[in-house]
């Protein structure tokens, strides 16, 4: 049960990070990017997608 709960938590955090990344990309403004940016050292999945498609 603990592992399942942790998996759900990680999935929620991942989706929240994806939502923040796409919201910043949609507005494409520096203010939106800094407001929704992850802490330094955290690599979001959207960052990986941008790097792989660049």
CA-CA distance, 52 to 47, in Å (whole number)? 9
Query: H or E stretch including 10?
Result: helix 2-27
Residue 38 has a pLDDT of 63
pTM greater than the 0.85 cutoff: no
**Domain containing residue 46:** 2-53
Residue 3 has a pLDDT of 83
Q: What is the pLDDT of residues 3-50, one digit of tens each?
A: 888 888 888 888 777 766 655 555 555 544 544 566 666 766 666 555
Largest CA distance in the chain: 42
Query: How many domains does the structure of the chain reveal?
Result: 1
CA distances to 8, 20, 31, 53 from 12, rounded to whole Å, are 6, 12, 25, 25
């Amino acid at each position: 049960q603990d592992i399942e709960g942790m998996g759900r938590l990680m999935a929620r955090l991942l989706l929240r990070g994806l939502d923040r990344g796409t919201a910043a990309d949609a507005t494409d403004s520096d203010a939106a990017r800094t407001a929704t940016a992850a802490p330094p050292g955290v690599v979001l999945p959207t960052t990986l997608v941008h790097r792989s498609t660049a």
